[in-house]
Homo-oligomer: A and B are copies of this chain.
Amino acid sequence: MLDRFKVPIEDRVYVKRDQIVAATEAVFQKVGMSASDAQQSTDVLVTNDMRGVETHGVSNMLRRYVADFLSGAQNAKAEPKVLRESATMVHMDADGALGITVGPQAMRRAIEKAREVGIGVATVINAGHLGGAGYHATLAANEGMLGHCMAGPGGSQMVPTFGAEPRLGTCPIAWAAPSGKEHPFLFDIASTQIAANKISLAKRTGAKLQPGWITGMDGEPILEPVDAPGPGEYYMLPFGGTRENGSHKGYGLGAMVDIWCNSLTGVGAGFITGGGGQWFAAYDIESWIGLDEFKSHVDDFLSGLKNTPPAKGHERVLYPGLSEGEETEKRTKEGIPYHREVIDWYKSIGAELGIGIELP
């Protein structure tokens, strides 16, 4: 993550993983989740926080989830059902569960199928926010498989290249692969120039948005640095930003995600129906080669990438998953640096819901 999105030093409160897990599980259970659903859902968010992916951790998302459970917009006691199943696929109705709750269940079903026949795909409809695609893809990698996850939200955020109105969501997508000695490979992106949550994070941290990151309400790319606008005051650009810098690739990737997640699952085009289909795929590596041999090839590849001599003005070369792996090690020792305001929210929601919250 770019430095501009990090919590300013003076506002940081360091919290150990166990503490934020306990507080978050307590909140989820209080709004109606079972203990196991609360545990699973919390693990998604806090794992993201441990990796330094604050955009998909408790800071941005938890207050929205809680509000949605309290209003009934999301179902804390959902019972996902299988709608259709074959040797290689399962299609599920989430019954209004959050994606952070049903997503891991779906990926585990895909992994089971991959273990039996080599490849498995689970798709999910009627689920809420996924908490980022990376966590779910990594579940497959942790089982010795290639993992792939994507989510087709509605179509009110990203303009197509050259378009004046939004037709796509942020269309997140992640691929994960296991490694041996190196931190595992996890390529986890939005199809927009930046993740939607980074706008609200930038607003909280006071960071500027860069040229070519968003458009005005007329769809024209804003080509100078600007303060993060409020909700409803901007549209997002596909990654690349402008056509000359490859925005048609971000746009096209997003369109693929919409078709795979929304048309395939019968939901229909995201910008018409609101979308919401999710895709979880697992490919068993040992169908091809021994897992140790695979990991050894991946280690060679990843260490070769990180040891690439850096170009002038740069300290080092990263690979997808490296800094997040390092951050997890660091945060395991030091705790997670939350913004003071996040801790205040936990304490106030704890008071409101009548649960004890133990945070610094």
Residue of B87, B159, B252, B319 touching A308 (CB-CB under 8 A): B159
CA distance A95 to B209 in the complex (A): 51
CA distance A307 to B177 in the complex (A): 39
User: Are B320 and A88 closer than 8 Å at their CB atoms?
Assistant: no
Residue of B nearest to A155 (CB): B304
- By a CB distance below 8 angstroms, the chain B residues around A262 are 297, 301
Question: Cβ of A167 < 8 Å from any Cβ of B?
Answer: yes
CA distance A251 to B317 in the complex (A): 11
User: Are B241 and A245 closer than 8 Å at their CB atoms?
Assistant: yes
Question: Cβ of A239 < 8 Å from any Cβ of B?
Answer: yes
- By a CB distance below 8 angstroms, the chain B residues around A87 are 87, 117-118
Residue of B252, B301, B317 touching A162 (CB-CB under 8 A): B317
Given A88-B117, A311-B218, A317-B162, also A268-B297 (CB < 8 A): yes
Question: Cβ of A58 < 8 Å from any Cβ of B?
Answer: no
Spot the interface stretch: A29-37, A74-82, A285-293, A352-360. A285-293
Question: Cβ of A121 < 8 Å from any Cβ of B?
Answer: yes
Question: Cβ of A250 < 8 Å from any Cβ of B?
Answer: yes
User: Are B187 and A252 closer than 8 Å at their CB atoms?
Assistant: yes
Please give the distance in Å from A96's CB to the nearest CB on chain B: 21
User: Are B119 and A308 closer than 8 Å at their CB atoms?
Assistant: no
Interface band, chain A: 35 or more
User: Are B312 and A218 closer than 8 Å at their CB atoms?
Assistant: yes
Residue of B221, B263, B287, B288 touching A301 (CB-CB under 8 A): B263
User: Are B246 and A160 closer than 8 Å at their CB atoms?
Assistant: no
Residue of B nearest to A239 (CB): B246
**Quick one: CB contact mask for A303-344 with B, threshold 8 Å, 1 for yes?**
011001111101011111000000000000000000000000
CA distance A240 to B89 in the complex (A): 34
CA distance A85 to B308 in the complex (A): 36
Spot the interface stretch: A11-19, A197-205, A253-261. A253-261
Residue of B117, B283, B308 touching A163 (CB-CB under 8 A): B308
CA distance A245 to B269 in the complex (A): 27
**Quick one: CB contact mask for A165-209 with B, threshold 8 Å, 1 for yes?**
101000000010100000001010100010000000000000000
User: Are B264 and A285 closer than 8 Å at their CB atoms?
Assistant: yes
What 5 A-B pairs come out closest when comparing CB atoms?
A: A269-B301, A239-B246, A263-B297, A163-B308, A187-B252
Given contacts A88-B88, A251-B320, 4 further A-B contacts (CB under 8 A): A89-B119, A146-B260, A211-B244, A220-B311
Residues of chain A having any CB pair with chain B under 8 Å: 84, 86-89, 91, 117-119, 121, 123, 146, 159-165, 167, 175, 177, 185, 187, 189, 193, 210-212, 215, 218-221, 239-242, 244-246, 248-253, 255-256, 258-260, 262-272, 283, 285, 287-289, 293-294, 297-298, 300-301, 304-305, 308-312, 314, 316-320
